[in-house]
């Protein structure tokens, strides 16, 4: 096992490299003990968002990596563990931004807003567009989400916020999470119905949204068998990771009428441009507020660790 070079207690300076642009709000919290460097090879700390690090030669003096985001799929965790490099992420810092886009996805799936907007663009040169719209709008009619049943699989930072917001919108909400923490349970509305198996959600819910981490045993959480247990016309939302859903099975479900709409925040050749799919270009955490929150949390984690480490070497 490679052990990173230890810092001399008298040397209070740490070099920090940013593999992606990091919010100025976060970087401004770095103290005088930290220097930003463009040379990753000399960094003791790395800040990253989406840059892929798997093929990167990790610097010999690297002590910690902090990702300004919830997942760590772009970081070689095994390699970091082997070299004694600590990895941080920022779960919950972008939760509100993702929650709001999930709500937008439900509304877009319920009301054919996109189809209506496309029609208006196509009729932009028509002097009688207002009159024509009154005739055409019935093609884009939809349903309301109030009174509908929403199933939330995974009640962590994002899932809990989605569940609570949906309750406020008048939805009947079912939540499933076998690893629900005490803190998360306290944050949930008392009106969220906690179920102990996913089958209850599949059988009852009009909308199903997935908010679990991508692990070996969560891949294809929504697969052909799960789809077969769902109500006809179900709407599936995926703002967590694309591999949590067997998207080919979902496309087959759309063609058969089992699935009304699939909303995904992860563009790929399987779903992009497909009928019945609303595919968003990974915008869940793309808000100024979320980027600022993630950056501040990542920088603080990095400084806390490096400062603690310095005090014991």
**Structural domain includes residue 203:** yes
Distance CA 25, CA 106 (A): 32
pLDDT of residue 12: 64
pLDDT of residue 17: 98
pLDDT of residue 207: 98
Residues 302 and 194 in one domain: no
Task: Scan for tokens 């270009």, then name that residue.
Answer: 281
Residues of the chain with pLDDT under 70: 1-12, 311-313
User: In this structure, what are the phi and psi dihedrals at residue 279, rounded to the nearest 5 degrees?
Assistant: -115, 120
Residues 118 and 238 in one domain: yes
Look up the CATH number of the domain holding residue 57.
Answer: 3.40.50.720
Number of structural domains in the chain: 2
Tell me the pairing of strands 86-88 and 277-279: unpaired
Nearest by Cα to 92 from 307, 310, 294: 294
pLDDT of residue 301: 97
Distance CA 164, CA 187 (A): 9
pLDDT of residue 1: 46
Residues 144 and 206 in one domain: yes
pLDDT of residue 8: 47
User: In this structure, what are the phi and psi dihedrals at residue 87, rounded to the nearest 5 degrees?
Assistant: -120, 130
Query: Which range of residues forms the domain containing residue 21?
Result: 14-93+289-312
**Structural domain includes residue 293:** yes
Neighbouring residues of 232: CB distance < 8 A, sequence distance ≥ 6? 257, 258
- Provide the 10 A C-beta neighbour count for residue 128: 8
pLDDT of residue 5: 45
**Structural domain includes residue 4:** no
Distance CA 159, CA 166 (A): 10
Tell me the β-bridge partners of 45: 16, 64
Per DSSP, the three-state class of 11 is coil
Residues 156 and 262 in one domain: yes
């Amino acid at each position: 096992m490679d052990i990173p070079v230890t810092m001399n207690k008298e040397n209070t300076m740490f070099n920090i490299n940013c593999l992606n642009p990091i919010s100025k709000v976060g970087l401004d919290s770095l103290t005088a003990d930290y220097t930003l460097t463009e040379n990753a090879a000399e960094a003791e700390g790395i800040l990253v968002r989406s840059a892929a690090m798997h093929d990167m030669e990790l610097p010999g003096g690297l002590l910690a990596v902090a990702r300004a985001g919830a997942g760590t799929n772009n970081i070689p965790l095994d390699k970091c563990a082997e070299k004694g490099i600590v990895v941080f992420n920022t779960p919950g810092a972008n939760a509100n931004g993702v929650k709001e886009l999930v709500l937008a996805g439900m509304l877009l799936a319920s009301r054919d807003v996109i189809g209506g907007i496309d029609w208006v663009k196509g009729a932009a040169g028509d002097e009688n567009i207002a009159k024509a719209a009154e005739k055409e709008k019935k093609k884009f009619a939809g349903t309301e989400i109030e009174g509908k049943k929403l199933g939330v699989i995974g009640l962590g930072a994002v899932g809990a916020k989605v569940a609570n917001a949906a309750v406020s919108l008048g939805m009947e909400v079912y939540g499933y999470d076998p690893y629900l923490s005490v803190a998360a349970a306290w944050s949930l509305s008392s009106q969220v119905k906690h179920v102990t198996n996913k089958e209850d959600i599949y059988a009852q819910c009009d909308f199903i949204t997935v908010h679990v981490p991508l692990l070996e045993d969560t891949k294809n959480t929504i697969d052909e068998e799960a789809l077969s247990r769902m109500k006809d016309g179900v709407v599936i939302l995926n703002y967590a990771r694309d591999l949590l859903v067997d998207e080919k099975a979902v496309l087959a479900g759309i063609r058969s009428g089992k699935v009304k709409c699939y909303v995904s925040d992860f563009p790929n050749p399987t779903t992009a441009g497909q009928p019945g799919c609303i595919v968003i270009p990974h915008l869940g955490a793309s808000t100024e507020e979320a980027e600022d929150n993630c950056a501040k949390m990542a920088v603080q984690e990095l400084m806390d660790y490096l400062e603690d480490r310095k005090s014991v070497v």
